C-alpha cells in the first residue's frame, strides 16, 4: 500500500463519511499458560478471569499469517496473549504478534529482535495491530514498514498495547502501561513453544525498540523503563518519532481542532486505567455518547466523530481542560498529577546516574518539518530533556513531511540506526 495523502486530508474525508456509534462493554483480566500454540482466534482476545504468572508469560498463542505485511520473507508468526503490568503495576493481559523469518540467522551472534510499538489506530476492538496485520485492515498504513525489519532477518515482537482484549478499551498514550506491554512481548517472544525453522529466539539476542506517534510515546517509555522493569533484555537502542511527550501540551493544541479525536481517545483511555478518578459522573449525554464512539471506532471514524469538538462540550458543567486537571480522586490526587506522571523526559539520566529512569543505549528521535498534529514544542522539548539529562541522543527534524508521512520519511534512517546498533557500530548523538 502506498500512502499518498496526509492525515489532514484523510481526516477531512472522514468527517464527511461519519462514524458508527455503538458501545462496547467494560474490561476484565487474564491467567494460565499454554502447552503449545493451539489457541483459537477467539482465545487470543478473550481475557480470562484472573491474571497469574510473570510478565512475559504466554497465556495463549496461535500461528498466524501476516496477510497485510507485503513483501515479507518466508516466516513463522504467532498471535499471543501474554502477562504484563499496567501503569499502576497491576497484572493484566495484552495481545500482540511475534514473527521470526524462516531463514537461519547469518549475522553476528544470535538473531536480534525489533520491539515494535504501533502507530495510532483508534480504540475499537477491531483496530489492534495484531488484527490489522492478519485479519482486517482498518485505517492503518504502517504494516509495509514492518517488512523491512523482517527482510533484514530480524525477529519482530509487536505489542497491540493494553486494552484490545474483548470488552476492554485501549489505554491510549499511556506510556507507563504500554511501555511495559512492549517490553513484555519481547519476553513472550522467547517463550513461543512451537518449533521454528530459522531457530528459536535466545535470551542473548539484542533488542531494538521502535515506534512512531503513539508508538513513539510507547517506545520512549519502554526505553525509560527497560533497566528497572526488564533488566535482562539486551536493549541496544530506541528509535522514536512524532512523539507526544507532554500530554497536557498536546491536549491544549488538539482541543477544538480537526484532530480532537486523538484527545478523545486519550481521555477515555484514562477513564479505564484510572477508574477511581472522577469521570462518568461528569458526563452529559454527549459525553456518554462520546465514550461509546471512542470504544467502537478506528482512526478515521474517531477523527470524524470529534473533529472541531471541544472537551467543554461533553461535561454537564462545561469543564475546561484546566478545570478537569484540578479535579481530585482518592487521597487528593488530581487529574493533573495523573497526567504529569505520564510526561516523558522527567527523572531520566544515563546509565551511571541515580535517575529514576536510566538509559544506557543510544536514542534516535525525529519529527517531520511539517508536523501539524503534535506541537513542535513538545517533540523538541522531549529531545532537549534527554540531551540535558546526558542521554546519548540523535535528533532529526528535517524530514519534508507532515505527521502521517513522517513515519515513511524516516523509515530508511530508522532501519540504518537499528542495523548499526545490532552490529555494535559507534554512535554519536548531536545534542
pLDDT over 70 percentage in the chain: 92
In the prediction, which pLDDT does 20 show?
29
Cβ–Cβ under 8 Å, residues 299 and 140: yes
Q: Is 192 part of a structural domain of the chain?
A: yes
Domains in the chain, number: 1
At residue 35, the pLDDT reads 58
Q: Is 398 domain-assigned?
A: yes
68 C-beta neighbours (distance < 10 Å), count: 20
Mean pLDDT of 28-50: 74
Domain-embedded: residue 256:
no
Note down the domain range covering 367: 7-246+341-422
201 has pLDDT over 80? yes
Q: How far apart are CA 97 and CA 133, in angstroms?
A: 9
Looking at residue 17, what is its pLDDT? 31
Q: Which one, of 264, 217, 396, 300, lies nearest residue 8 by Cα?
A: 300
Beta strands in 91-193 (DSSP E): 91-101, 113-117, 155-161
Chain mean pLDDT for the chain: 91
In a domain, residue 308? The reply is no
Going by pLDDT thresholds of 50, 70 and 90, the confidence category of residue 108 is confident
- Does residue 33 register a pLDDT over 60? no
Residue 276 domain-assigned (yes or no) = no
Rg (CA), the chain: 20
| Burial class of residue 306 (count of CB atoms within 10 Å of its CB; 0-12, 13-18, 19+) | buried
Q: Coil, helix or strand for 341? A: coil
What is the Cα–Cα distance from 167 to 124, expressed in whole angstroms?
10
In a domain, 353, yes or no: yes
CA 221 to chain centroid, in Å, comes to: 10
Mind listing the pLDDT tens digit for each residue in 207-249? 999 999 999 999 999 999 999 999 999 999 999 999 999 999 9
pLDDT band at 34 (very low <50, low <70, confident <90, very high): low
Burial of 276 (0-12, 13-18, 19+ CB in 10 A): exposed
Q: Distance between CA atoms of 160 and 96, rounded to whole angstroms?
A: 5
Helix axes 299-306, 7-17, angle to 10 degrees: 70
pTM (predicted TM-score)? 0.92
What does the buried/exposed string (b/e) look like for 392-407 if buried means 16 or more CB atoms within 10 Å of the residue's CB?
bbbbbbebebbbbbbb
Residue 89 located in a structural domain: yes
The CATH number that applies at residue 113 is 3.40.50.1820
Mean pLDDT of 173-198: 93
1 domain-assigned: no
Lowest mean pLDDT among 4-18, 259-273, 373-387: 4-18
In this structure, are residues 156 and 112 in contact, taking their beta carbons and an 8 Å threshold? no
Specify the DSSP element, H or E, that contains 224: helix 214-229
Q: What is the pLDDT of residue 194?
A: 77
Q: Which pLDDT value is given to residue 1?
A: 33
Residue 314 contacts residue 283 (beta carbons within 8 Å): yes
List, in order, residues 6 or more apart from 426 with CB less than 8 Å away.
none
pLDDT for residue 205 is more than 50 = yes
What's the start-to-end Cα distance of the chain, in Å?
36
**Sheet with strand 234-241: strands edge to edge:** 58-64, 75-85, 91-101, 155-161, 113-117, 206-212, 234-241, 363-368, 393-399
DSSP single-letter state for residue 126: G
Quick: pLDDT tens for 248-301: 999 999 999 999 999 999 999 999 999 999 999 999 999 999 999 999 999 999
- Cell numbers linked to 422: 545490532
Contacts of residue 428, defined as CB under 8 A and 6 or more positions apart, other chains included, come to 392, 394
- pLDDT over threshold 90, residue 395: yes
Amino acid at each position: 500500500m502506498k500512502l499518498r495523502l496526509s492525515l489532514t486530508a484523510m481526516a477531512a474525508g472522514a468527517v464527511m463519511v461519519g462514524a458508527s456509534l455503538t458501545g462496547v462493554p467494560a474490561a476484565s483480566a487474564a491467567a494460565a499458560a499454554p502447552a503449545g500454540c493451539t489457541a483459537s482466534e477467539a482465545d487470543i482476545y478473550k481475557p480470562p478471569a484472573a491474571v497469574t504468572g510473570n510478565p512475559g508469560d504466554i497465556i495463549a498463542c496461535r500461528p498466524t499469517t501476516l496477510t497485510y505485511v507485503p513483501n515479507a520473507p518466508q516466516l513463522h508468526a504467532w498471535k499471543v496473549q501474554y502477562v504484563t503490568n499496567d501503569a499502576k503495576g497491576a497484572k493484566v493481559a495484552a495481545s500482540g504478534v511475534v514473527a521470526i523469518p524462516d531463514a537461519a540467522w547469518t549475522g553476528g551472534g544470535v538473531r536480534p529482535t525489533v520491539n515494535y510499538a504501533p502507530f495510532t489506530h483508534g480504540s475499537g476492538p477491531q483496530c489492534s495491530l495484531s488484527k490489522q496485520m492478519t485479519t482486517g485492515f482498518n485505517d492503518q498504513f504502517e504494516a509495509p514498514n514492518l517488512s523491512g525489519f523482517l527482510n533484514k532477518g530480524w525477529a519482530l515482537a509487536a505489542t497491540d498495547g493494553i486494552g484490545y482484549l474483548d470488552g476492554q478499551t485501549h489505554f491510549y498514550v499511556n506510556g507507563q502501561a504500554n511501555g511495559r506491554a512492549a517490553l513484555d512481548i519481547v519476553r513472550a517472544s522467547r517463550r513461543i513453544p512451537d518449533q521454528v525453522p530459522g531457530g528459536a529466539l535466545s535470551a542473548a539476542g539484542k533488542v531494538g525498540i521502535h515506534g512512531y506517534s503513539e508508538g513513539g510515546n510507547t517506545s520512549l517509555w519502554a526505553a525509560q523503563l527497560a533497566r528497572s522493569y526488564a533488566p535482562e533484555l539486551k536493549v541496544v537502542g530506541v528509535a522514536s518519532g512524532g512523539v507526544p511527550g507532554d500530554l497536557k501540551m498536546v491536549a491544549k493544541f488538539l482541543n477544538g481542532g480537526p484532530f480532537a479525536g486523538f484527545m478523545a481517545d486519550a481521555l477515555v483511555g484514562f477513564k479505564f486505567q484510572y477508574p477511581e478518578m472522577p469521570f462518568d459522573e461528569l458526563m452529559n449525554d454527549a459525553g456518554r455518547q462520546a465514550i461509546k464512539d471512542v470504544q467502537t471506532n478506528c482512526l478515521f471514524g474517531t477523527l470524524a466523530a470529534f473533529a472541531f469538538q471541544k472537551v467543554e462540550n461533553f461535561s454537564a458543567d462545561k469543564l475546561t481542560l484546566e478545570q478537569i486537571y484540578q479535579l481530585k480522586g482518592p487521597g487528593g490526587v488530581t487529574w493533573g498529577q495523573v497526567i504529569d506522571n505520564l510526561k516523558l523526559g522527567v527523572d531520566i539520566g544515563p546509565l551511571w546516574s541515580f535517575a529514576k529512569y536510566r538509559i544506557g543505549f543510544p536514542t534516535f528521535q525525529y519529527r517531520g518539518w511539517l508536523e501539524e498534529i503534535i506541537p513542535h514544542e513538545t517533540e523538541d522539548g522531549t529531545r532537549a530533556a534527554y540531551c540535558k539529562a546526558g542521554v546519548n541522543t540523535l535528533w532529526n527534524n528535517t524530514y519534508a513531511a507532515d505527521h502521517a508521512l513522517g513515519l515513511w520519511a524516516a523509515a530508511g534512517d530508522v532501519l540504518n540506526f537499528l542495523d548499526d546498533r545490532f552490529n555494535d557500530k559507534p554512535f554519536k548523538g548531536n545534542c
